[in-house]
Amino acid sequence: MIVAWLSIENFRNHRSTQLSLDEARTLVVGPNGHGKTNLLEAIAMLDGSGSFRGASAETVVRAGCERAYVRAEIRRERRKYLVEMEIAAAGRSRAQVNGQRVRSLRDLADVVSAVVFCPADLSIPAGGPAVRRELLDDILSATDREYRAARLDFERILRQRNNLLKQAGTRLDDEALTTLEVWDAQFAAAGETVATRRAALCTALAPPAQDAYYRLAGTTVQLELSYAAPWRDGTLAVALDQARSDDLRRGTTTVGPHRDDMEIFLDGLPARTHASQGEQRSIALALRLAEHRYTAEIGGIEPVILLDDVFSELDEGRAQRLVGCLPSAQTVVTSATGHVPPGIEIRRHIQIRDGEATPEDAQVSESTD
């Protein structure tokens, strides 16, 4: 997949930016806080997954504006797609492909595919379970239309069940009990589907993540991934029944996929508590590389790679090894200094300052720093 050109309007500090990207590697250079990451964020949002920084629509729309616009020409399988997204600060955002409205923004993943590497990825091995659940859900949503529908269904049922539990308090009348049993049956069916797909993804990611970790860390330490869902020793229906009194007391659903985790181990020890910061960085990079390989294999198209100031966070050895691991996909790299490790051939430079992009007719260059 290739992002041929990009246009963004009223997106964060970018009033109006239009630029073309090289089919191989583009370097975006500029001082911190001037809009480099915003540019990558706009590209990444074209797949409908939202901001990789966790920002709301209101946040990404330029201050004082009602809407932001992101447009791009996408080339894949010898076809061209004009993808247009209108992001509303308040109300519903919308998008279209080749002039045809898409029902859900997440359906843009059928056309646009991107994998983002950023410093915040350190939270994948080091953070809480929600971060790792989100990683699994994002990968599955990008590659599986049925999973997108199943996840939305599960989240809707979870909200309804939680609302009922809060309203019921510690006691259920006959009507509330009947309604809860209906929601329990639906929750169990949807939850089993979500957990089964996530567990299968963990199994699929493990080999490429292990391979990437070997190459990045330069060690033979064993990296393992395991989907942790204690309720799967039985069925979700049984687990819900056993947790009902606790759910009523707390007013929320205490068991299910929304509380599961993807556990990461190094030589049998939990990476979250036992891995060094350097090891955690290697784990995060390995998982992103595994995500790229999996997405490319399932979708048949290599996602664009977005590297947000990643090399400044790595020691020289890991930075050089990451270069050797990068797939031959279209890549956009940001840097405050303009320096990238040896081996990254930059074919186009873009300067960013105060939210304005100035492309340079860059000669093919390779860093020697």
**Mean pLDDT, the chain, as a whole number?**
93
Both tokens of 11, joined, read 């997106």
What is the DSSP annotation of 307-359? EES-GGGS-HHHHHHHHHH--SS-EEEEESSS---TT-EE-EEEEEETTEEEE
Q: 186 in a domain, yes or no?
A: no
Cβ burial of 247 (10 Å; 0-12, 13-18, 19+) is buried
Q: 201 in a domain, yes or no?
A: no
- Whole-prediction pTM: 0.93
Q: 82 in a domain, yes or no?
A: yes
Q: 23 in a domain, yes or no?
A: yes
Q: 287 in a domain, yes or no?
A: no
Identity at 255, one-letter amino acid code:
V
CATH number at residue 357: 3.40.50.300
What is the 8-class DSSP label of residue 61?
A: B
Q: Which helix (H) or strand (E) holds 47?
A: none
Q: 5 in a domain, yes or no?
A: yes
pLDDT higher than threshold 60 for residue 367: no
The pLDDT value given to residue 368: 36
What is the 8-class DSSP label of residue 301?
A: S
Rounded mean pLDDT of 248-253?
94
Q: 175 in a domain, yes or no?
A: no
Task: List pLDDT tens digits, range 88-125.
Answer: 999 999 999 999 999 999 999 999 999 999 999 999 99
The pLDDT value given to residue 364: 39
Range of the domain at 335: 1-113+305-314+328-369
The pLDDT value given to residue 358: 86
CA dist list (Å): 191 to 51, 223, 231, 235: 25, 27, 11, 10
Both tokens of 66, joined, read 């009602």
Both tokens of 61, joined, read 């729309």
- The alpha carbons of the chain give a radius of gyration, in whole angstroms, of 22
Angle at Cα 150 formed by Cα 295 and Cα 157, nearest 5°?
Answer: 145
Q: 277 in a domain, yes or no?
A: no
Rounded mean pLDDT of 6-23?
96
Q: State the greatest distance between any 2 C-alpha atoms of the chain, in Å, as a whole number.
A: 75
Q: How many domains does the chain have?
A: 1
